[in-house]
Structure 1
Amino acid sequence: MAEPGFEDDVYAEGAPEREFHAGIAARLPRKSVSGGALVRDEAGLILFLEPTYKPALEIPGGVAEADESPLQACRREVREEIGLDLPIGRALVIDWIPVRGPWPDQLAFVFDGGVLDAAAIARITPDPVEVGGFAFRSLAGAGERLRPSMARRLAAARLALEIGETLYAEFGRPVRGG
């Protein structure tokens, strides 16, 4: 007998609760959710993308679409942005990002994108609409091209790799329970 899948889980959950007051669900706050991949080369350098639409460096990934999980968004965005179907691994960091200007608060997931060898790196095909270039760099080497919160988030992701745990962070700063 096959293990139940995602669709089976959704079916088994049943119908949503009936609202006691019309429109209550519509008044609940909305957060955006994103999934990015920490991809490294064999020297341990991080794959950074140079977006065509903003000055800061990014890792492959992006915002989840409606009814798309952070992991699905990460896989889709990696495929779109660098042209590779990578085996995306475990969640390294779940980072809450506060409201900034016109942007709502967000939950940003960073997943383990693995280590690419020279042959895989040679197959990277950046999306010309979204990606102006790419490079493997250290966090220090990315320097001022990284937003401070992204630098903190990626440092937390490196730590999560080292200790073998998923970390929860707020604006890139790991939060320990207690």
Structure 2
Amino acid sequence: MTTGETATPLPTLADDLLTEGVPEAEFNPGIASRLPAKNVAGAALFRNERGEILLVEPIYKPTWIMPGGAVEENEDPRLGCRRELAEELGLDLEPGRLLVVDWVPRHGVWRDQLQFVFDCGVLDAGQVAALTLQESELRAAHFVAPADLARTPLTPSLARRLGQALTALERGTTEYTTYGRLGR
């Protein structure tokens, strides 16, 4: 683009849905309702200026997690991650590059899901000081050095997913994993 030119705005989701045409009708009534529903979540990989990773301590489970959360129905995972960061931490930041898509199988009360992990960059000291935890969901926020992650209360699958995200960040790649592991 040269000086003086303006970028053409991207079509909205509503525009794209209109160009798809009339919503498809079922030829076999009930088939769509029999398909499984899958949960989706968007997580943020934040670091501080010392390279430590931001993890949060939820009130609803015994282990720590990455900031972010469940994506609402018909919500883009990146936008869902952004919404969750605003709600849970008081951060209004656009998630960056996709680092990992991880399939997590059903386990206990949690249905299977796709976890999208986005690079959300480095928080400066002012941003860290301004973090505002949503008390109805989070007990605390912690910055953990990568070398200390093994001694942090994480599920094994999240530890693997986080490791894959750090590797993808370093290599400039995006990885697809199964329960935090490559090549399954």
Instruction: Confirm or deny that 1:87 pairs with 2:107.
Output: no
Which segment is superposed worse, 60-69 or 12-21? 12-21
Aligned residues between the structures: 176
Give TM-score scaled by structure 2 length: 0.90
Instruction: Confirm or deny that 1:20 pairs with 2:27.
Output: yes
CA distance in 2 between counterparts of 1:18 and 1:167 reads 35
Q: Percent identity?
A: 51
Which residue identity lines up with residue 58 of structure 2 in the other structure? P
For structure 2, the residue ranges without an aligned partner over 5 or more in a row are 1-7
Which residue identity lines up with residue 104 of structure 2 in the other structure? I
Q: Which residue of 2 is the match for residue 49 of structure 1?
A: 56
> Offset at 1:139?
4.0
Q: How well do the aligned residues superpose, as a CA RMSD in angstroms?
A: 1.5
Counterpart among 133, 138, 142 of residue 140 in structure 2: 133
CA distance in 1 between counterparts of 2:20 and 2:124 reads 43
Q: How does 1:24-173 map to 2 (within 5 A)?
A: 24-142=31-149, 143-173=151-181
CA distance in 1 between counterparts of 2:66 and 2:113 reads 16
Instruction: Confirm or deny that 1:175 pairs with 2:183.
Output: yes
Summarize deviations over 1:95-124 as a string: whole Å, max 9, x none.
Answer: 000111232210000011110011111111
Summarize deviations over 1:26-52 as a string: whole Å, max 9, x none.
Answer: 001111000010011011111011111
Which runs of structure 1 show a deviation greater than 4 angstroms over 4 or more consecutive aligned residues? none
> Offset at 1:144?
4.5
Counterpart among 7, 10, 16 of residue 9 in structure 1: 16
Summarize deviations over 1:56-106 as a string: whole Å, max 9, x none.
Answer: 001111111111111111001111111111221011100000111232210
1:138–1:32 Cα change, 3 Å: same
Give 3-state SS (helix, strand or coil) of 1:135's partner.
strand
CA distance in 1 between counterparts of 2:14 and 2:139 reads 38
Give 3-state SS (helix, strand or coil) of 2:73's partner.
coil
Give 3-state SS (helix, strand or coil) of 1:58's partner.
coil
CA distance in 2 between counterparts of 1:36 and 1:2 reads 27
For structure 1, the residue ranges without an aligned partner over 5 or more in a row are none
C-alpha contact (below 8 Å) 1:93/1:168 kept by paired residues: yes
